[in-house]
Chain A
């Protein structure tokens, strides 16, 4: 109040409240668009960069030209399309899928820790894959198929167990803990009893690597992503309503259970496909969402931004794992090491946010 009185008479008066509100809203929306676009551009730049670096360096333009078939140069095409493109596309696709599904889970279940890593979906895939690798000496497409089955089955089991006149986020989380513990115990037992070489094979699958996807897995992943990503963006509107709480959402005319089932199905499929292609790349789904939400300052649904952040993390991790370390390592070894410090930095610097998302 005092500064209003102190203001010199020649300064212009404050704008009308409605104008101010509208201007603020437009500013915030513009911010969402700008940040999301920048994240997308960074993801694309990294996507190109992973294909440039290697024992035979290729220029950025050559990579883009070859990837999108703008010009034909057999030697460049061989290096880019046959050798480097599969890994780069897997990293991009897996990152997009994990980032988006992670944020959907966290919002849907109202808990920042409720990513697929912790509520039993990745652990289901891991258990099935570990048993397949160690007990049946499976590899390649079989392991991917089994892991996909494991993820979908465990998600279905959690949903069914949690159903009692509808599913609430809280019960889903608790049942997810139980299911996760079950699978983790069996996985640990199988690995502890296996031969060292089998255990090593299983553990390197469990760490997750974008280099291990075959052509078939990759094609399935890409086709499904082309359907699932737009679908989850469309359903993101319902997510904002569900976040208000079940009663409020119902009051606003949303069929809460149907919306929740739809969103869960889409995000479980995203995680399951990504895990089948690259193994359970740890912590991407957990970290991408909070980073995106904080970069957007809580505006908008953040789903697209989270997908881009996920892609950035996985692509960067792939770059570091393949080139920056003394020994070539699986991607999953590095993902936590890249996302975690950034999230910590955000937590330490963003003062305004305390209690919220």
Chain B
């Protein structure tokens, strides 16, 4: 129960054990930061066209527009890597927050209406305005995701007890179901929409350049920073509503705030990359398996593990099918799922 308050005078032995565990966890965070740097570097250098370090540096200090290698780095790989890092962090944290606030291991933004909200908005856009480039979808996707998530929360908050975990989960599932009907209804009658949708629904980092990054980065940054300070609230909620209230939390307000943060995180990620489900659903479980159920550790671990996983999967997707590439969503499912199953088998994962 290392949740909200520590005992004023801890006995020496457990304190030392706790300190050792803390040191181990901090070391883990440092190692993961190193891994993230390495993976980000690999994401910039590796690909259909390999490039050296000198080219990377020169493409920023002394840019030569005629050099294809420098252009690839500057216009494709670097923005792609940055989006990968930001989206990875956002997806992972969004999943962790949602699982914490609904106390449901199956909760992730796609079940809470975010993904289907974005998809529905995009499909309606295509139906009304015709097929457009990816850049114009971003705002519609974001708005759709936000609207759907707010609807879920509003539905769940009706009634005397407010938005309880069970009602949140059911409201999310119900709103998702309604939106799914809308999406498939349009897609089945509009060939343009079907064609765009089947590509969009496999999440990908490809062809996301500076324009998209310029549109969404403030949302990513604000969302990620806000998510990191919610750890104490989530720890309180994990004890159940009654105990959380007794510990002095305003449960309803906390839930509402966390939901707003999740909307910003998941909405911007879905808008930027399309639905990438695996990260938000699985990485929080992975983080809990490493560092235990205390959200003050789970959130930082999720923050670092998610982009590592996303970028690594993206790199694998670029390398296995040269000269083409496999979307990151596909790679995550095909490689990540068996790995996750092994993990679940080996350890007793913390229940929520």
Binding site for B on A (CB under 8 A): 111-114, 118, 161-162, 164, 170-171, 173-175, 177-179, 181-186, 188-189, 191-192, 196, 199-200, 203-204, 207, 282-283, 286-287, 290, 325, 327, 329-330, 332-337, 339-341, 343-344, 347-357
With A178-B282, A178-B338, A182-B333 known as contacts, the answer to whether A348 contacts B198 (CB < 8 A) is no
Question: B138: CB under 8 A from chain A?
Answer: no
Which chain B residues border A183 with CB–CB below 8 Å? 333
A192/B199 contact (C-beta < 8 A), A174-B285, A181-B332 known: yes
Contacts A203-B198, A337-B181, A354-B167 hold; do A181 and B278 have CB atoms under 8 A apart? yes
Chain A's closest residue to B106 (CB) is A113
Alpha-carbon gap, A159 to B281, bound state (A): 20
Closest to B242 in A: A355
Closest to B200 in A: A192
Select A329's contact among B189, B202, B285, B351, beta carbons within 8 Å: B189
Q: How far is the CA of A96 from the CA of B329 in the complex (A)?
A: 34
Distance in angstroms between the alpha carbons of A113 and B179 in the assembled complex: 17
Stretch in B4-12, B122-130, B152-160, B209-217 touching the partner: B152-160
A335 contacts B181, C-beta separation under 8 Å: yes
Task: Please tell me which one of the listed residues A199, A333, A353, A357 contacts residue B198 in the complex, with CB atoms under 8 A apart.
Answer: A199
Most B-side CB within 10 Å, residue of A325, A353, A354: A354
On chain B, the residues within 8 Å of A337 by CB distance are 177-178, 181-182, 185
B117 to A: closest C-beta gap in Å: 13
A-B contact pairs, 8 of them (CB 8 A): A181-B278, A182-B338, A192-B201, A203-B188, A330-B188, A337-B177, A350-B159, A351-B159
Chain B residues touching A, range:
35 or more
Contacting pair A333 B185 (CB below 8 A): yes
Kindly state the separation between the CA atoms of A286 and B177 in the bound complex, as whole angstroms: 9
* Inter-chain pairs besides A162-B345, A181-B278, A287-B173, 14 sampled, C-beta below 8 Å: A111-B106, A170-B349, A177-B282, A185-B333, A283-B173, A333-B184, A333-B188, A340-B181, A343-B174, A347-B155, A347-B158, A348-B159, A350-B159, A351-B160
Asked if A161 and B171 sit within 8 Å, CB to CB, the answer is no
Residue contact A186 to B333, C-beta cutoff 8 Å: yes
Chain A residue at minimal CB-CB distance from B161? A354
Closest to A334 in B: B181
Contact present for B198 and A282 (CB under 8 Å):
no
Residue B105 is within 8 A (CB to CB) of chain A in the complex: yes
Contact residue among B167, B177, B336 (Cβ-Cβ distance under 8 Å from A287)? B177
Report the bound CA distance from A310 to B201 in whole Å. 28
A344 near B282 (CB under 8 angstroms)? Answer: no
Residue interface bits B160-174, CB-to-A below 8 A is 1, else 0: 110011110111011
For residue B116, which residue of chain A has the nearest CB?
A: A336
Residues of A within 8 A of B333 (CB): 181-186, 188
Q: Is the CB of B194 within 8 A of A203?
A: yes
- Is there a chain A Cβ closer than 8 Å to B101's Cβ? no
Q: Are A177's CB and B174's CB within 8 A?
A: no
Within 8 A of A (CB), among B224-280: 241, 277-278
Contact of B334 with A by CB under 8 A: yes
Is B105 within 8 A of A173, CB to CB? yes
A180 to B84, CA, bound (A): 23
Among B107, B164, B337, the one with the most A-chain Cβ atoms within 10 Å of its Cβ is: B337
- Residue B330 at the chain A interface, CB threshold 8 Å: yes
The smallest C-beta distance from B351 to any residue of chain A, in angstroms, reads 6
Q: Which 6 A-B pairs have the closest CB atoms?
A: A185-B333, A354-B161, A336-B177, A337-B181, A182-B337, A340-B178
**When the two chains form the complex, which single residue of B159, B178, B349 contacts A174, counting CB atoms closer than 8 Å?**
B349
Is A113 within 8 A of B107, CB to CB?
A: yes
B170 touches A347 (CB 8 A): yes
Instruction: Tell me whether A112 and B345 are in contact (CB under 8 A).
Output: no
User: With A and B bound together, what is the CA distance between A337 and B116 in angstroms?
Assistant: 13
Give the complex CA separation of A287 and B181 in angstroms. Answer: 14
Q: Contact between B202 and A340 (Cβ–Cβ < 8 Å)?
A: no
Interface status of B340 (Cβ within 8 A of chain A) = yes
Q: Bound state CA distance, A118 and B173, in angstroms?
A: 10
CB distance from A104 to the nearest CB of B (A): 17
